[in-house]
Amino acid sequence: MRNFRIVMLALVALPIATTAKAAPVLIQVVGVDGRPLSGAVVTVTMPGTAAPAPRGPYVVAQRNIQFDPRVLIVPVGATVSFPNFDKVRHHVYSFSKPKKFELKLFGRDESRNVVFDKPGAVALGCNIHDTMNGVVYVTASPYTALTDAAGRVRMNVTPGSGRVAVWHPSIRSAGNTLEQPASVAATGLTTTLQLHR
């Protein structure tokens, strides 16, 4: 089973134009091979922080026989539309615990909607095209972001003691998620999360 440890690189005070209560946080996720892990969902949870309200629109398109985007982060209660821009029909489904659903065959320029009312990773598939896969990641935290090509996320977080979680399909742990305590100072935080075997 893989786990990760938090390596404190530096505490930084960056000038940012946000509310006085928010602190700048930079988190980098590094895989077991030592390379940056892109496409990972990083969530910072702070006690007493209100869940984000759905604002939308939230869209997972079917384009070129793929889900686009491959990973979409939405707040709890979000309605996601699934428009089909392909010349072929799709049959989108999920058997994931947070949301089981099935959108039976629908064709080009048609769309279907799904409400995601529980947090967690919802794996997507197509009954017609086995190579299509994606994820709608449903969060109750306002501090959730997808790592970029360098394995990094930047966000402004309320200072305090909380938890940081990383989700990625390659993580061999319950729910493909690893979690660790984290402390965000008023001046901010720069942290590397190193996955280990």
SS3 of 8-76: the string is EEECCCCCCCCCCCCEEEEEEEECCCCCECCCCEEEEECCCCCCCCCCCCEECEEECCEEECCEEEEEC
Instruction: Look up residue 32 and give its amino acid.
Output: V
Output the pTM of the full model.
0.87
Q: Could you tell me if 169 and 184 lie in one domain?
A: yes
Q: Could you tell me if 27 and 87 lie in one domain?
A: no
Are residues 1 and 181 in contact, defined by beta-carbon separation less than 8 angstroms?
no
Say which CATH number the domain at 94 has. Answer: 2.60.40.420
Query: In the predicted model, is pLDDT for residue 4 greater than 80?
Result: no
* Other Cβ atoms closer than 10 A to 99: 20
Strands 111-116 and 99-106: unpaired
Domain hosting residue 62, numbered range: 58-139
Q: Could you tell me if 73 and 133 lie in one domain?
A: yes
Count of structural domains, the chain: 2
Tell me the HSE value of 70 on the side-chain side, using a 13 A CA sphere.
Answer: 14
- Per cent of the chain over pLDDT 90 is 78
Those residues with Cβ within 8 angstroms of residue 87's Cβ, 6 or more apart along the chain or in another chain: 108
> For the segment 104-127, what is each residue's pLDDT rounded down to a tens digit?
999 999 999 999 999 999 999 999
